[in-house]
Structure 1
Amino acid sequence: MSEHIPDRFFELAPLYALGSLAEGECQWVEAQMEAHPELTAEIAAYQAAIATLPYAVPQQSLPAGLKERVFRKTTGEAPPATEEPGIPVSKNFNFSDLKWRPFNAPGFEMAKLHLNRDSRELTCFVRAATGGLPYPAHRHAGPEEILMLEGELRIGETLYGPGDYIRAEADSVHPHAETVTACLFYLKTSVDNETLV
């Protein structure tokens, strides 16, 4: 790496990957990545490691009545009623408000829509610049779905464009992917996919 990269970048990079920096510090880190594109891989490595941390700790059950006791102690009231199981909670968003972060390969970014910690599935948008490094080959830990929205993406020998739907089953392998033109796609995938060398 270039010796002109400020030490501060390496102090802030893990916090940036966690999404816990103030806006000004985020902008500073992103400016460093623009000036030194090799730093994108550094952030992607932190994000990949961070994504696995919640799953390294065994799931613990909360003591019975804890939520109610905490609510009563802090607010003097009972906790609000929870929604019935199986009824999805919808979330509206404006595409321009999405938070984009580096994603697994230089030139690729993702904006997280939802992370299901129980099924270990990530739902997000991915965008990629023309000529970014190839997205690494990977083995799917679970089913993966891609819906191309803009641009062209080559996966192996197949070229995909707007409107193309790509589904891969668990244990299947996607070869390296590369952008032909800048592209944007919807992705639903496992956080446990195995990157292949």
Structure 2
Amino acid sequence: MNDHRCFCDLAPLYALDLLDPEERLWVEAQVVDCPDLAEELAGYQAAMGAMPYTAPPVPMAADLKDRLFDKLGLDPVAPSTDLHLQTPPTEPSEPEKFAIRSGDLQWKPHRIEGVECALLFLDEVNRMRSMLVKVSAGVVYPRHEHRGVEEIYMLEGDLIIDDRTYFAGDYIRSHPNSIHAPWTKTGCKFLIRSCIDDNYDENLVAQFS
């Protein structure tokens, strides 16, 4: 992907889900920086959603199979009434859903003292992860730069980012290339989805502190 990106070119492809992860993140970052683009993107998504319904359905001819066998010079195969000879339904290669019970969460200490994490899902293809995080009172998380979109949903306590305090029920989204160092007064617990490749370079502390 070159540096000459155009929102009007990529937005329709975003609505069709044809962009690679880097391009999708770029489109989402533009929407965050310029809310007016959100309306334009929503228009594309609405148009794409209506497309499957604009084409009239084409019914399959009842004798299509017989005509095909006749064209190939084959004898029609009578449907089997023997249940033992019928092909069993195939099982999906991947489970349709996955769940973790609260009692089965595996909490592990983070490299930052006072922080514990329970990994819920790791998407190595898109370089994203979903986790539950518990933070003790007074902990300051290291300043870091986001390489992708970060989403946080507060469950308990308080979390302070850029002089704004968030509480249970609040949703926070940080766009790529943003930098912050969250901290908490009383401790907190939240659900987070973030990029595996976020930058924790120590130079960020000196540059932005």
Indicate the TM-score class for this superposition, using the shorter chain for normalisation.
0.5 to 0.7
Runs (4+) of structure 1 exceeding 4 A deviation are none
**Cα displacement string for residues 40-92 of structure 1 (whole angstroms, at most 9, x for unaligned residues):** xxxxxxxxxxxxxxxxxxxxxxxxxxxxxxxxxxxxxxxx7524xxxx73222
Q: Distance in 2 between matches of 1:129 and 1:136?
A: 14
Q: How many residues are matched?
A: 113
Give 2:102's aligned amino acid: F
Structure 1: unaligned runs, 5 residues or longer: 1-79
Q: Distance in 1 between matches of 2:131 and 2:96?
A: 17
Match of 2:152 in 1: 146
Which residue among 182, 189, 192 is the counterpart of 2:197?
192
Give 2:182's aligned amino acid: A
Question: TM-score, normalized by length of structure 2?
Answer: 0.50
Match of 1:93 in 2: 100
Q: Distance in 1 between matches of 2:97 and 2:128?
A: 17
Q: Distance in 2 between matches of 1:89 and 1:109?
A: 29
Which residue among 134, 140, 152 is the counterpart of 1:127?
134
Which residue among 71, 93, 97 is the counterpart of 1:82?
93
Which residue among 166, 170, 186 is the counterpart of 2:172?
166
Structure 2: unaligned runs, 5 residues or longer: 1-90
Give 1:150's aligned amino acid: E
Whether the aligned pair in 2 keeps the contact of 1:123 and 1:187 (CA below 8 Å) is yes
- What SS does structure 1 have at the residue aligned with 2:141? coil
Match of 2:163 in 1: 157
Higher relative strand content = 1
Cα distance change on mapping 1:104 and 1:145 into 2, 3 Å? farther
- What SS does structure 2 have at the residue aligned with 1:151? strand
Question: TM-score, normalized by length of structure 1?
Answer: 0.53
CA shift for structure 1 position 156: 2.5
CA shift for structure 1 position 130: 0.8
Match of 2:119 in 1: 112
- What SS does structure 1 have at the residue aligned with 2:98? coil
User: Max radius of gyration: which structure?
Assistant: 2
Give 2:108's aligned amino acid: R
- What SS does structure 2 have at the residue aligned with 1:194? coil
Match of 2:28 in 1: none
Query: Identity of paired residues, percent?
Result: 38
